[in-house]
Amino acid sequence: MLDSITFVSKVSGMASPASAGDREKVVSKLPGWLRQDLKVRAAQLGTEIQTAVTQGITYWCDLASTPPTVDTSGADSFSTWLPPGQWETFKDSASDRKVSITQALAQAVQLWLQKHPAPTVQRPEIPRRIITCNQKGGVGKTAVAAGTGEAMAEDANTLYPVRISKHFAAALLKDSEGESGDSGSDPRAIEDRPGLGLSVLLVDFDPQCHLTQQLGHTPLPMDGDSLTKHMAGEPAGKLRDLIVPIEGDQFGDRLHLLPSCNDAFLLDVKLAGVRAREAALERALAPIEADFDVIIVDCPPSLGLSMDAAVYYGRRRDNEPPGSSGALVVVQAEDSSADAYTLLTTQIEDLGTDLSLHIDYLGIVVNHYDARRGYIATSSLEAWMDIRDPRVVGVIGDLKEQKEAVRVKRPLLAYSPKCDQAVGMRALAREIS
């Protein structure tokens, strides 16, 4: 019973990491849903598909009896590489059990899936707190805050395109100079990876309410409750009641927003009279922290008391590992961002010294990058890369999809999940995870 199965070739040197020697390429059939489950689970566990199939066939052949029938309707072509002789043994076992090869292979793959369950999402013991900041406006802090949060909240049982290189920024510079990278290892390579599956809260801490509006929500009314009122010790209700979900199939119920209110323009004035004002944001968010794995704060472009409160909130807490929480600095590849960066880091370091805080930098994100702008852009990117500490952890291109997502008031990763900016946001989320 070959069921349209043929040996395609026997290639020397096609060794699996799990097994040395030759492998034989075989072609069979699998239903699409089972092939997709296999692809996702193998990616989740960091296992090659050929290794998973090899193990599944071994499990199947070792069974004392045939497992339950798998629905193979709509099965189509599926190929993989197996150790020499395994396929012949498998065919003989299937013949002895009077099971078609297509059914036997489906049972073997299903058996492997059952023996290798999906890993649980690794949730931090202390909720991570990420503050996206820069004193200069217009650098795209809001887009980076939203994109990072969206990438962290994507479904852990679905594959998404992710840029996997740690050398992408260097590759951009080489391209702009007309150089080519190492042909054996493409620094701009993209792979399908499972979503991170974390529960994320985006906090719009900017009185301009850009994050709130970009994600399709209305700023909170001035005469109602708001984060500002909670920080000032004048709450009109529970902060949890202000939080709204962000729609998107890939986010499930994991992505939420705490909208802003224009009353945040008055926050610095209100904080001036508040006890321990640096801790005001932390006191306000404390009741809802346990509901989330990650809290991302989109900071205002200022260096006032509100920024002090944000920096304090992002400090490293007792028993928290370094680099879990901290400041994610968003810049552009131009000179004014460098001046603003110096002002911001001075404020962060002064606050850390004054209050004996450990404030980690999660890295620098170069946003709105476009090498076609020539020397100004490329030389600025190179200057950011030369800083080293904190290092550049992401480069996001200046492309139309982000602007379109803002126009239609949808999350970028829901609006255009495969665009270059979305791929870059996923890389950024993993780089700082």
d(CA 365, CA 332): 8
Q: Please, what is the average pLDDT of the chain?
A: 88
Looking at residue 114, what is its pLDDT?
97
**CA angle at 306 for the pair 272 and 358, rounded to the nearest 5°:** 110
pLDDT level of residue 265 (50, 70, 90 thresholds): confident
Instruction: Give the burial string for 23-40 (b: 16+ CB within 10 Å, else e).
Output: bbbbebbbbeebbebbeb
Our measurement of the distance from residue 5's CA atom to the centroid of its chain's CA atoms, rounded to an integer in Å, reads 40
For residue range 144-158, list pLDDT tens digits in order.
Answer: 999 999 999 999 999
Instruction: Give the burial string for 199-213 (b: 16+ CB within 10 Å, else e).
Output: bbbbbbbbbbbbbbb
Residue 112 has pLDDT above 80, yes or no: yes
Beta strand residue intervals within 140-277, DSSP E: 159-163, 190-194, 200-204, 244-245, 255-258
For residue range 168-181, list pLDDT tens digits in order.
Answer: 666 666 665 555 44
Specify whether the CB–CB gap between 358 and 321 falls below 8 A. Answer: no
What would the mean pLDDT of 74-98 be, rounded to a whole number? 95
User: Whole-prediction pTM value?
Assistant: 0.87
Q: Which residue has the higher pLDDT, 105 or 164?
A: 105
What would the mean pLDDT of 375-390 be, rounded to a whole number? 87
Handedness of CA 115, 118, 119, 123 (dihedral sign): negative
> How many CB atoms lie under 10 A from the CB of residue 228?
25
What would the mean pLDDT of 308-335 be, rounded to a whole number? 93
Q: Where in the chain is the domain with CATH 3.40.50.300?
A: 128-431
Token pair of 338 as six digits: 């460098």
For residue range 285-321, list pLDDT tens digits in order.
Answer: 999 999 999 999 999 888 889 999 999 999 999 999 9
Looking at residue 179, what is its pLDDT?
52
Question: Helix, strand, coil: what percent of the chain each, to 5?
Answer: 45, 20, 40
Give the type of residue at 148: T
For residue range 214-228, list pLDDT tens digits in order.
Answer: 999 999 999 999 999
d(CA 152, CA 430): 8
d(CA 62, CA 107): 13
pLDDT level of residue 248 (50, 70, 90 thresholds): confident
d(CA 286, CA 284): 6
pLDDT level of residue 8 (50, 70, 90 thresholds): very low
How far the first Cα of the chain sits from its last, in Å, is 49
Residue 255 has pLDDT above 80, yes or no: yes
CA 287 to each of CA 153, 230, 282, 296: distance values in angstroms, whole numbers, following the listed order: 21, 11, 9, 16
d(CA 66, CA 326): 54
Residue showing tokens 């131009």: 334
- Phi then psi dihedrals of residue 204, to 5 deg: -85, 100
Looking at residue 417, what is its pLDDT?
96
6-11 and 361-369 strand pairing: unpaired
Looking at residue 302, what is its pLDDT?
82
Query: Angle, nearest 10°, between helix axes 141-153 and 420-431?
Result: 80
Give the CATH fold of the 128-431 domain: Rossmann fold (3.40.50)
Looking at residue 426, what is its pLDDT?
96
What would the mean pLDDT of 95-114 be, rounded to a whole number? 96
